[in-house]
Structure 1
Amino acid sequence: MAFYEHVVIARPDISQQQVETLVEEITAIIVEKEGTVSNTEYWGLRNLAYPINKSRKGHYSLINIDGPAAAIQEVERRLRINEDVIRFLTIRVEELSTEPSAVLSRKDRGDKPERGDRDRGERRPRRDREDS
């Protein structure tokens, strides 16, 4: 069997619980086709790079799969039919990572400063033009 990373982007107007149900359905399909799901991650409601079907956001989920190609084909066939799915992408990888994905590790680090942490110094004075 091969290893796959599968990312699903769902419509922004569905709830997080409905996204989790969608991931459970995908997991059930994989198990039915004699594969295994080693890890699932919910990345949250994130901005899309460009609007898709008038949506600017989407619920992102990552699923690590160890299974046959037939299982992946069945999952992709069902996701094409599902109206809640905006996009999906399946990539074959050499091995599955046991660590959290880069998206989750960046979220946990908290790289962005909080709004209250900004420097509240004086504004620089405007330079007046010299009219010649």
Structure 2
Amino acid sequence: MKDYELMVIIDPTTPDEEIPNVLDTIKQNIAAHGGEAGEPDASPPWGRRRLAYPIRKHNEGFYAVLRFRLSPSESRNLDRDLKLNDRIMRFLITRTDK
């Protein structure tokens, strides 16, 4: 298993009380693919921020970072699951070195 970091931008129309549910869904997706997810970091400087350019006609989004471990063969499946989540506007998965 390799270490990864996921940065996600959540749709700003998502109510603030729903943000933890969206992050829990992401953690469940990671676990479903045999991975281990840490706690998401949505504290400052993350959280609700202005975007550099509009995405889906929105000028802001809710940023969060999540570190996790996953088999490299499962990263494509996780990528597909994240693309299917309507609440996620953009995401980036990067491999981290320990």
* TM bracket (short chain): 0.7 to 0.9
Q: Matches of residues 111-122 of structure 1 in structure 2 within 5 Å?
A: none
1:66 maps to 69
State the distance in 1 between where 2:74 and 2:9 align. Answer: 19
Letter in structure 1 aligned against 2:11: R
Q: Matches of residues 52-131 of structure 1 in structure 2 within 5 Å?
A: 52-95=55-98
Residue-by-residue CA offset, 1:95-126 (whole Å, 9 max, x unaligned): 2xxxxxxxxxxxxxxxxxxxxxxxxxxxxxxx
2:34 maps to 34
Q: How many residues align?
A: 95
More strand by percentage? 2
Looking at both structures, which has the greater relative contact order when contacts are Cα pairs under 8 Å and sequence separation is at least 6? 2
State the distance in 1 between where 2:47 and 2:91 align. Answer: 15
| 2:11 is equivalent to residue 11 of structure 1 | yes
TM-score normalised per structure 2:
0.86
Deviation at 1:70, TM superposition (A): 3.8
Partner SS, residue 41 of structure 2: strand
Partner SS, residue 83 of structure 1: coil
Change (3 A) 1:16 1:75: farther
1:50 maps to 53
Unaligned runs of 5+ in 2: none
Unaligned runs of 5+ in 1: 96-132
CA contact (8 A) 1:30 1:71 kept: no
Q: CA RMSD in A?
A: 1.4
Instruction: Give the percent of matched residue pairs that are identical in Structure 1 and Structure 2.
Output: 28
